[in-house]
Structure 1
Amino acid sequence: MLQNNALLSQLKQNIRAKTPRVEGVIRATSKSFGFLETDDGNSYFVPPPAMKQVLHGDRVEAALHEETHPQSGEKREQAEPETLVEASLDRFIGRVTLQNGRLAVTPDHPQINQALKARQARAVESETFNEGDWVVAKLLRHPLRPNDKGFFIEVTRLIARNDDHKAPWSVVLARHDLPEAQPEIEADWQLQDPAGLERQDLTHIPFFTIDNPSTRDMDDALSIEARPEGGWTLTVAIADPSAYVMPGSEADLEAKARAFTLYLPARDITMLPVTLSDDLCSLKQDEKRPALVCTLNVNAEGALEADPTFQSAWICSQARLNYDDVSDWLEDKANGWAPNEIMATQLKALSDMMQQRLSWRQTHTLVFKDRPDYRFKLDDDHKVIGIEIEERRLANRMVEESMLLANVAAADFLARHAGQGVFSTHNGIAPEKLEAAVEMLKAEGLTHDAEQLASLTGFRDARNALEAHPDGDWLEARFRRFQGPAGLSPTLAPHFGLGFEGYATWTSPIRKYGDLVNHRLIKAVLSESDKPAVDETLTESLSEGRISNRRAERDVKDWLYARYLKPQEGQRFMGQIVAINRGGMRVQLVDNGATVFIPGPEIHATRDELQCDQETGRVLIQGEVKYRLADQIQIELTEVNEDKRSLIGRPVS
């Protein structure tokens, strides 16, 4: 009787108008219920029936209703999602799930376990999919969209079969929409220098390279001479792909899109065609190669003297050396290798220069502690058979200090002569966190005000003070939380993280598009020709490319760690606490670099007695400090989940 009553309709509208609403993001749990978290930090319970209409990560508008808990009788507000603001899924990766022979896909996400009904796109309509196959899909329908009755997706691409042991690489590259192979560009590679550029013949200079034995794209060579009056003259020669890759060419556009060479375990995907990266531009021993060369003078105290010179040249490396051989020889660790007399003199001079330069930087810039790298050893089937620790040895530091010098020189050269470039920057403390950083330091007896911390000198002094503090490791780990990310800029700006007034990398143009651009700018200055424009659009694109590459590298490593450590469940490892949040803490294992999550209940069973304090980087039990950031602890690996690429552990008391 009241079905079409206008009064009833008006009543419903009035009720709806009075119902409070909030906007937030859906957070699923391992159970059937979830929560809606608003931007201001409030959290509302979402009951199981409502969770069937949303997915983890969806941003929605929800109506709030007060409900009484059936057991406790406690009243609480519940959120009922009504409108989709932004779906968490658009293009995504998933695994095929066959439901009564019909196609469905479960998104590859630790918080989404729901199989979504699917259809095949025209591009893959001839494929026969099997349970567990990896695919790319896109969301077509969502229950909270008008006229959509449920979730429905379309499979657009087959990535890998369920039994493909190389799936980690293929899936991760597809997830981040990164190229899976080297660029295939057919071209008659001819050297093309800008008009007015004179390429000097420096093939008589005894350059040498130091790399890993497996390196093919050798992009830097060095030559050094000790000066009679003290100090050194260091000549840095960098491979010059800009001599072959013209702006706007197919190779240039492809390199710009890729931004970087991608280095994954057991798989490198180059920015440039391998004909260039591994052959024509690689500074191979006894091969004449085009290079951009910088000559730097370093005084006896380790300071870089003014006005380094740049020139375009031909060079010829006279020796291909590797880090371990050079380090062993300089450290008197006999391994059967020794350099010839010319190289021996240079290597000793380079070692002396590095030591003095490092000493100078410890006073005038920032020098961070060496951290080991971890390298996966894989067999022919891409199965992990071991993980090696790669310590930064003497030869690594020699090359590193040389590149730092060259990049500082390039930043100054570009700023003065080109007025632009691809500059590496770091702003130190994020502005909105300055006061919190001041308070943290003050609590430890370190007096640095916000104005000081916002300056390069003040930031450096604070970092050095933390390093000298008895609790330096813990305090440094806390201090890092206040720092902003590193970035790229078309104009000169300080790099707080390194302690330099300016920094512009040009030493890896085979591997980094920004370095290739800096080569073109330097050569434009040398030839007095038109300079390529550099703007924020380019630097932002390069920054995004760097983030994507780093995420891809991390994701592949997480997958390989899960595979490698699955047979080692129940074993004990030493690790260092690297993060603490309200849910628990993360520990990096010393032996292999894997990161293990320790959930709160594994730290202490009584929830009310446990406090995981992210602000102070401490874990307290009954008010007493039990663990701190940077502490070394022993843990037991309790669970390895390859599907979620997660490692769970517990502390061993």
Structure 2
Amino acid sequence: MPRRQMHMTGAAAAPLRDALRDLRGELDVPEGFPAAVLEEAERAAREPRLPAEDATHLPFLTIDPPDSVDLDQAMHLERRPGGGYRVHYAIADVAAFVVPGGAVDTEAHRRVTTLYFPDEKVPLHPAVLSEGAASLLPDHTAPALVWRHDLDGEGRVEATEVRRALVRSRAKLDYTGVQHALDAGTAEEPLALLREVGQLREALEVERGGVSLNVPEQEITRRDGGFELAYRAPLPVDGWNAQVSLLTGMAAAGLMLAAGTGILRTLPMAPDGAVGRLRRAAKALGIEWPHHVPYAELVRSLDPRRPRHAAFLQECTALLRGAGYTVFRNGAAPDPAVHAAVAAPYTHCTAPLRRLADRYAGELCLAFSAGQEPPEWALAALDALPRQMADGTRLANTVERECVDLVEAALLKDRVGEVFDATVIDVKEREPLVGTVHLEDPAVVGRVESADGAALPLGERIRVRLTQADPGHAKILFAPA
């Protein structure tokens, strides 16, 4: 699916900014941090609890979107003498700056996760921490949780540990630049090893039956005082980078399960009815799915740049619904203990600047890796985390969905009545006259309703007419032309 952009001028963006402000009010999104939180954060930034170990000799690097400054992760990869690989993965040590039960901690439990709007970010922690002292910015020494994974020649984990240490990133890279360097053959180690290790870990994902969905995403970007919508198909380096994070999340889950206490990110297996619906969608889209071919194998064979394949991948996201956080104690492992898409026990632990639960998972793993008991403050907060994270995740999903709807309506508000080429990427099973269409130009995904009684043709290219678009009042709506 090609990436296309549509630019909106600053003048046209004014009503959108008003609508975004109204949305934050409707969702009761915090406007700023209380004075006590800012004061405590400033003090913590000046006087963090620093670890004794110094790992600043390791030339860590980060890979993030170009404008990101809240950098949670940094990596360093190297070959091990005698074969295999060593992966160092540094995670921002938020606990070095946050006093349990203090003002920053209390506010973080209220916010739960960072929220991203097109015109501003509503962070989990004050910027002096999340974009400054605690962030793994280049040429900045910061405390971190440093994971060390020793892998064999096939990428399998032979040993893993995590400890606190000071780190210093050498370079802030972005996905497009890294992909270009890898494709051109100009990347040197350790960056070149990211592809090597990433591909090995992807092969192991295939072996255990895991699946990663490469669904093209709509992105809202700022440019010259306005906003743009674009499709972004994931690059190979996105997947290789994600494999290092998955590796760490699985290692963390293993540490907690071995200790008998922790918090996992779980996803039950999809019910048979959901898989049956996917098979019907594949047939409607003209995608061959032999009965002996597993779902994960089929997904890996698809090309997200092809509209029919992209439509099917969008349908596949239904199997990822139902993910949640599960706490367990005293050796009583949860059921299920596996994340169905990862096909292994897994937890969130690599984004503590932006996600509350990760700080607690990291603290438990530090203790268990050292053969110690976790601090009481970490254990005391566990039971409330699943509910808090569920509420925060729902809010974040609502923000993302509503922001895209608003931007689409703002981009198209002067084009009501126009006809566009589109692909039907979803049809409601019980309402075949209602579905979703994907426009390639502009980069819009919107609701379509058939008024003539004819069922929408899943996977087919059709012409649609825009019938409504009004930011802040009505989402975009199409009808078959």
Q: Which residue is 1:425 aligned to?
A: 266
Q: Which residue is 1:132 aligned to?
A: none
String of CA shifts for 1:519-538, please: whole Å, max 9, x gaps.
Answer: 22223433545342254432
Q: 2:255 aligns with which of 406, 413, 418?
A: 413
Q: 2:238 aligns with which of 378, 383, 396?
A: 396
What SS does the aligned partner of 2:100 have? Answer: coil
Matched, 1:516 2:380: no
Tell me which amino acid in the other structure corresponds to 1:168: A
Q: Which residue is 1:507 aligned to?
A: 350
Deviation at 1:323, TM superposition (A): 1.8
Tell me which amino acid in the other structure corresponds to 1:588: H
**Following the alignment from structure 1 to structure 2, what is the Cα–Cα distance between the partners of residues 389 and 632?**
18
Q: Which residue is 2:438 aligned to?
A: 588
**Following the alignment from structure 2 to structure 1, what is the Cα–Cα distance between the partners of residues 172 and 119?**
22
Q: Which residue is 2:420 aligned to?
A: 572
**Following the alignment from structure 2 to structure 1, what is the Cα–Cα distance between the partners of residues 208 and 442?**
34
Matched, 1:191 2:52: no
Q: Which has the higher contact order (CA 8 A, sep 6+)?
A: 2
Compare CA radii of gyration and give the structure with the larger one: 1
What SS does the aligned partner of 1:405 have? Answer: helix
Q: Which residue is 2:66 aligned to?
A: 213
How many residue pairs were aligned? 439
Identity of aligned residues (%): 23
**Following the alignment from structure 1 to structure 2, what is the Cα–Cα distance between the partners of residues 351 and 551?**
34
**Following the alignment from structure 1 to structure 2, what is the Cα–Cα distance between the partners of residues 373 and 207?**
29
Q: Which residue is 2:183 aligned to?
A: 331
Q: Which residue is 2:331 aligned to?
A: none
Structure 1 residues 377 and 496: alpha-carbon distance in aligned structure 2, compared to 1, 3 A threshold = closer
What SS does the aligned partner of 2:110 have? Answer: helix
Structure 1 residues 413 and 322: alpha-carbon distance in aligned structure 2, compared to 1, 3 A threshold = same
Tell me which amino acid in the other structure corresponds to 1:502: P
Q: 1:308 aligns with which of 145, 153, 160?
A: 160
**Following the alignment from structure 1 to structure 2, what is the Cα–Cα distance between the partners of residues 549 and 435?**
28
With normalisation by structure 1, the TM-score equals 0.61
More helix by share: 2
| Superposition RMSD in Å | 3.2
Alignment check: 8 A CA contact 1:428 1:484 kept: no
What SS does the aligned partner of 1:411 have? Answer: helix
Structure 1 residues 481 and 522: alpha-carbon distance in aligned structure 2, compared to 1, 3 A threshold = closer
Q: Which residue is 2:403 aligned to?
A: 556
Deviation at 1:261, TM superposition (A): 0.8
Matched, 1:646 2:479: no
Deviation at 1:212, TM superposition (A): 1.9
With normalisation by structure 2, the TM-score equals 0.81
Tell me which amino acid in the other structure corresponds to 1:298: L
Alignment check: 8 A CA contact 1:182 1:271 kept: no
| Aligned residue runs from structure 1 range 73-88, under 5 A | none
**Following the alignment from structure 2 to structure 1, what is the Cα–Cα distance between the partners of residues 197 and 39?**
44
Alignment check: 8 A CA contact 1:217 1:282 kept: yes
Gaps of at least 5 residues in structure 1 are 1-162, 449-459, 613-618, 620-626
Matched, 1:487 2:328: no
Alignment check: 8 A CA contact 1:423 1:489 kept: yes
String of CA shifts for 1:580-611, please: whole Å, max 9, x gaps.
Answer: 2514221132345432222121xxx2x3xx3x
Deviation at 1:393, TM superposition (A): 2.0
Alignment check: 8 A CA contact 1:234 1:296 kept: yes
Deviation at 1:217, TM superposition (A): 0.9
Deviation at 1:413, TM superposition (A): 1.1
More strand by share: 1
Q: 2:130 aligns with which of 265, 277, 283?
A: 277
Tell me which amino acid in the other structure corresponds to 1:276: L
Tell me which amino acid in the other structure corresponds to 2:360: V
**Following the alignment from structure 2 to structure 1, what is the Cα–Cα distance between the partners of residues 399 and 94?**
26
Matched, 1:544 2:395: no
Alignment check: 8 A CA contact 2:450 2:479 kept: no
Tell me which amino acid in the other structure corresponds to 1:520: E
Q: Which residue is 2:198 aligned to?
A: 354
